Amino acid sequence: MGQDATGELLAVEVDRTAGNVLLRLGRFGAVNQVVRLDMPPGLGSALDALGADESALSDRYRDDR
């Protein structure tokens, strides 16, 4: 996809049950890439301070590879 396709951080979502953080990257509001990160200790509280969206993760964006 390249740098142009993932130029913006569109959303950060936290799934505390699975212990994952999803970063939705894209451009002009269109999601082009989803990056899943394992949540290390302390990250949840740091994201809370930033106001991250903790709503249930949509199956549409799950990448279970």
pLDDT at 44 over 80: no
As a whole number of angstroms, the distance between CA 49 and CA 22 comes to 17
pLDDT at 59 over 50: no
Give me the pLDDT at residue 60, please.
46
What are the residue ranges spanned by the domains of the chain? 2-54
Q: Is the pLDDT score of 47 beyond 70? A: no
pTM: 0.53
pLDDT above 70: residue 28: yes
